Structure 1
Amino acid sequence: MYQGYGGVNCVEAGGPPAGAGCGGYVVGETVKLLKELNAFYEYDVILFDVLGDVVCGGFAAPLNYADYCIIITDNGFDALFAANRIVASVREKARTHPLRLVGLVGNRTSKRDLIDKYVEACPMPVLEILPLIEDIRISRVKGKTLFEMAEFEPALTYVCDFYLNIADQLLSQPEGVVAHELHDRELFSLLSDFYLNPEEKKQENHQDNLDFMIV
């Protein structure tokens, strides 16, 4: 365990060498170890940053101990397909303990049209849409949080506000939802039509513009 920026304690659940084992197994074992060490009861907030491949039981293991789940996705087909699987996993886990889905965060995207299309079909809150800002990627390379970088680059303060908004919503202990995922075929149809019928999309956007002008 290492202490990071702002006194936050951090644990990296590293996986085995590529092709030599199961990363999901490591995540599951790490969660068990943290429980044995009573780590779950020593902190006000514990965040698990886990891959979206919840078909693997190991990657879904933190949901067994969580109060909330936040889905991080971009505005693309593949990410939303994975997000839909997470919705299914939350619904399944919610059968046995009070796990709730807080909502969805759009990650580094200049558009949200597919996200909006998905949450219309599978209702859930959209907590925030993080803009397509290169500094978010740079912060990872530098090994620093955006808040740490903002101390020396005040221009980044506005980016931090997006994350503070998400934190405020989470700390308010929202009721959350247990959404019902879309069937795979239904999801494919919903999202693929968006790509396969661009003319219809243009007409819809044009109509939206007309409506806006009339108002």
Structure 2
Amino acid sequence: MKKIAIYGKGGIGKSTTTANLSAAFSEMGLKVCQVGCDPKNDSTRLLLGHICRKTVLDVVRDNDAITSEDIVHTGYNQISCIEAGGPEPGVGCAGRGIIVALEKVRELNVLSDMDAVLYDVLGDVVCGGFAVPIREGYATDIYIISSGELMSLYAANNIAKGIKRFALRGVVRLGGIIGNSRNTLNEKKLLQEFAARLNTYLITFIPRDSIVNEAENKRQTVIQYAADSDQAKVYRKLANMVLHNAKMTVPTPMDFEELEALAEKYGSKN
């Protein structure tokens, strides 16, 4: 089983990328489950065609005796979709909610027959709850999504620190940086060097394309909405690379001054 976690700064495109990866894997004939680890419970929206109406925490709050059917929802191309959910706004810790939800998923053994499980995780490894997929062995192959924007790189570097910490005492490894373009200056070159500094590589560079927004407005992945588009081909190629990736590493994060200097190096037309 491939156990994959996708991390990155909030708003960088984690859910969109993860959902398109899930769709591409399902096209390969794999049995796929996507697990949303964000209290907004919108990770699987493009696969289900709507916001998940029952998260794991919703079900747990309502009923102690639950079954896998209560928390697993079927989406596009028979992809299994699970949303961890979170506490009511202003009440409780969202990270703690992730812990409770994933423990329930493990207890019910709903992932045992999957070929690929993808965890879409809120990009905050400062809180222990969001580190659970890599800390507790739910995922072993970690990918970080980043653009060439400084704060996106800063978040990615912090995530790499967390991955390094857990990699040194387990099997978790960094599989690469997924570049999600924001059309910043020298963006691809910057991401290539950033990845190299982290002891990994830029596994793909996803171009900015309006068809992504079109698909999202239709509540679909690009794979479903525009199956023959160039953007769909990018996601399929990424899925194939992730499935067969053997370049798994322990990252070497930078200090902030080094990161700033790197961004400055590529942030000029000269």
Report the TM-score when normalising by structure 1. 0.82
Q: Which structure shows the higher helix fraction?
A: 1
Task: Please report the RMSD computed on the Cα atoms of aligned residues, expressed in angstroms.
Answer: 1.9
Assess if the C-alpha contact under 8 Å between 1:76 and 1:114 holds in 2: no
1:150-197 alpha-carbon deviations (Å, 9 max, x no partner): 25xx4x2x21111111111121141411111112333233324554xx
Q: For the residues of structure 2 that align with 1:38 and 1:98, how far apart are their CA atoms?
A: 21
1:164 maps to amino acid: R
Q: For the residues of structure 2 that align with 1:193 and 1:129, how far apart are their CA atoms?
A: 20
Assess if the C-alpha contact under 8 Å between 2:178 and 2:205 holds in 1: yes
Partner of 1:6: 77
Corresponding residue to 2:257 among 182, 185, 192: 185
Task: Give the structure, 1 or 2, with the largest relative contact order (CA under 8 Å, sep 6 or more).
Answer: 2
Q: For the residues of structure 1 that align with 2:99 and 2:216, how far apart are their CA atoms?
A: 25
Assess if the C-alpha contact under 8 Å between 1:69 and 1:101 holds in 2: yes
Assess if the C-alpha contact under 8 Å between 1:16 and 1:23 holds in 2: yes
Q: For the residues of structure 2 that align with 1:108 and 1:22, how far apart are their CA atoms?
A: 32
Secondary structure at the residue paired with 2:124?
Answer: coil
Q: Which structure shows the higher strand fraction?
A: 2
Secondary structure at the residue paired with 1:40?
Answer: coil
Partner of 2:103: 32
Corresponding residue to 1:130 among 203, 206, 220: 206
Tell me the CA shift for residue 28 of structure 1. Answer: 2.0
Tell me the CA shift for residue 75 of structure 1. Answer: 1.4
Partner of 2:233: 161
Corresponding residue to 2:151 among 65, 69, 78: 78
Partner of 1:61: 132
Q: Which runs of 5+ in 2 are unaligned?
A: 1-71
Corresponding residue to 2:195 among 93, 102, 119: 119
Q: Which runs of 5+ in 1 are unaligned?
A: 203-215
2:117 maps to amino acid: I
Assess if the C-alpha contact under 8 Å between 2:197 and 2:252 holds in 1: no
Secondary structure at the residue paired with 1:54?
Answer: coil
Corresponding residue to 1:141 among 196, 213, 217: 217
1:107-127 alpha-carbon deviations (Å, 9 max, x no partner): 133332431341243231111
Q: For the residues of structure 2 that align with 1:135 and 1:179, how far apart are their CA atoms?
A: 33
Runs of 4+ off more than 6 Å:
none
Partner of 2:88: 17
Distance 1:107 1:32, change over 3 A: same
Assess if the C-alpha contact under 8 Å between 1:100 and 1:175 holds in 2: no
1:78-125 alpha-carbon deviations (Å, 9 max, x no partner): 111111111111111112321111101111333324313412432311
Larger Rg: 1
Assess if the C-alpha contact under 8 Å between 1:68 and 1:99 holds in 2: yes
2:175 maps to amino acid: V
Percent sequence identity over aligned pairs: 30
Q: For the residues of structure 2 that align with 1:139 and 1:28, how far apart are their CA atoms?
A: 32
1:55-96 alpha-carbon deviations (Å, 9 max, x no partner): 111111111321200111111101111111111111111123
State how many pairs are aligned.
Answer: 194
